[in-house]
Amino acid sequence: MKDRIEIPDHNSLFKSEPYVKQREGKKAFEAPCSEQETMEALAYSKSSEYKDKNFARQSLVVNPHKACQPLGALMAALGFEKTLPFIHGSQGCTAYFRSHLSRHFKEPAPAVSSSMTEDGAVFGGMSNLIDGLENSVALYKPEMVAVSTTCMAEVIGDDLQAFISNARLKGAISEDLPVPYANTPSFSGSHITGYDSMLKSIISTLYNRSGIQAAPGSGETTGEKLNLILGFEPYTGNFAEVRKILAAFDTEYTFLGDHSGNFDSPATGEYSYYYGGTKLTDVPKAANALGTLSLQKYSVKKTMEYINGTWKQQTISMSTPIGITATDRLIEAISELTGLPIPDELVDERGRVVDALTDSHPYLHGKRVALVGDPDLLIGLIQFCLETGMEPVHIICSNGDNGFKEEAEALLAASPYGAEATVYIGNDLWHMRSLLIDNPVDLAVGSSHLKYAAKDAGVPLIRVGFPVFDRHHLHRYPIIGYQGALNLLTTIVNTILQNLDEDSSGFNHDLVR
């Protein structure tokens, strides 16, 4: 444009001289620490003495890598057709969950709250729940309302089952409307626990209401379908990848929970509250499927127990299948559960991605990495590192349990590339900061929340997992399947190459790499 006016943004504006002067001048009123004190404290925070104290913390949690249960419940609810997530308790929680998911997916995250206040704390939240159901059904016309709880409702001990029954008795909602509910206290587990509880509740509620008796493998009314669970899945692209793989097998399937519609809806000029999702009528039929394959293990434990116990199906649970080996296992599992042969096109695709890995391996080999994420993501990432010659060094899982730790350690112990790794559960990103500074790595892999520690340690960050707030559209690209391996490989190798350029001495600013 010809009439361009220079308009400095916040990056350049505050570097300009008047603002630098202002910043210095303001210190007169701040009673700030002296520059020397700050420098010393910074140096101290990078010492091994500090690291030891950091790891000796008993109660203080700084920059944890986990969220709370109802966030996961909201995501689980949005995996079903025309389902409105309803969070019973204080209303601020719902505002936070919706914002958090919108910041990651760059998509709307519809959900309502029963908006409890002080009187709810005293008298319980029944009238809030009943009014809330009536209002939300009138306004947002859901075909199912999935109720979860905030810690307020949990602490005062609201009885969801009784409240929902009363809502039906009072005529606030009809008998036809399924209202699965899950207790999702924020003071135990994490977002993945809440996902699991809500998913299990939705599946069991719809199954129980249907009157269908599970006849596993009968294929009755189902075609001979396979059930798939992706769990607390931050990548809409992963759903697309699984669809692609299943299409190659030419098998029928049902996703038990598919929020890819709601979190990747088209801009058409109109907004609907509900996009895609598992059809409610498909859920009870899923009881007769050939089997259920879950691509997260630690995130959907209770759900898989239910499917095993009540539907008595063949089940296979695996952690996020990242990389070639894990994808091979995914493909084998589908073949095993459906009895179908592995399609040639997947074998071809595998070959092409392995080819890409052979091209890039010199840049990956021996690269030391730090990993942060949910347990299933970490298992996947560890496998990917080990099969490509990268060496995991620091692994932090704020919401991992002992089972996860043992599995991760066994994986690492089985590979020479895992020799340097330590797995930490229940630790946070302030611990990671110490680890990155004390024992440096080449790459940090994790969510946007890792950007602070990565910056302090001067390590490039590969954004993988949840939440990714500060980069766009990564969630649209799969990280699972052969395609996902290629996507991750491309991001990682090009980050390494970018760093080679940036760190070059001029003469080795090489044209060909």
Residues 182, 186, 188: CA angle, nearest 5 degrees: 90
Contacts of 97 (CB under 8 A, 6+ apart): 70, 71, 74, 87, 109, 111
For other proteins, the closer of residues 368 and 433 by Cβ is 433
Stretch that binds other proteins, among 12-20, 210-218, 381-389, 408-416 (CB under 8 A): 12-20
Which residues 164-193 are close enough to bind other proteins by CB under 8 A?
A: 185-188, 190
Distance between CA 127 and CA 274 in Å, rounded? 27
Comparison of 174 and 505: residue with beta carbon closer to other proteins: 174
Q: What is the rounded distance in angstroms from the CA atom of residue 191 to the CA atom of residue 371?
A: 19
The catalytic residues are: 151, 155
**Which residues between 100 and 159 bind other proteins (CB under 8 A)?**
100, 102-103, 106-118, 120-121, 128-129, 131-140, 150-152, 155-156
**x/- string (CB under 8 A) for other proteins, residues 371-410?**
----------------------------------------
Q: How far is the CB of 52 from other proteins (least distance, A)?
A: 11
DSSP at 79: T
CB atoms within 10 A of CB 406: 11
By CB under 8 A, is residue 439 in contact with other proteins? Answer: no
DSSP-assigned states of every residue in 123-171: H-SHHHHHHHHHHHHHHH--SEEEEEE-HHHHHHT--HHHHHHHHHHTT
Q: How far is the CB of 442 from other proteins (least distance, A)?
A: 23
Considering only residues 44 through 63, tell me which ones interact with other proteins, judged by CB under 8 A. Answer: 44-45, 53-54, 57-63
41 makes contact with other proteins (CB under 8 A): yes
The site that binds other proteins (CB under 8 A) totals a number of residues, namely 104
What mask of x and - would describe binding to other proteins in positions 270 to 309, judged by CB under 8 A? xx--------------------------------------
Residue of 14, 332, 504, 510 interacting with other proteins (CB under 8 A): 14
Nearer to other proteins, 158 or 391 (CB): 158
Q: Where are the beta strands (DSSP E) in 331-421?
A: 368-372, 391-397
By CB under 8 A, tell whether 36 contacts other proteins. no
Alpha carbon distance 347, 349 (integer Å): 5
Q: Where are the beta strands (DSSP E) in 246-356?
A: 253-255, 291-294, 314-317
Find out whether 106 and 472 touch, Cβ atoms under 8 Å: yes
**From the CB of 215, what's the least distance to other proteins, in Å?**
38
Contacts (CB under 8 A) with other proteins, residues 207-266: 265-266
C-alpha distances (whole Å) from 356 to each of 249, 430, 442, 462, 477 are 24, 36, 21, 19, 17
Q: Which is nearer to other proteins, 146 or 256 (CB)?
A: 146
Residues 127/163, Cβ–Cβ less than 8 Å: no
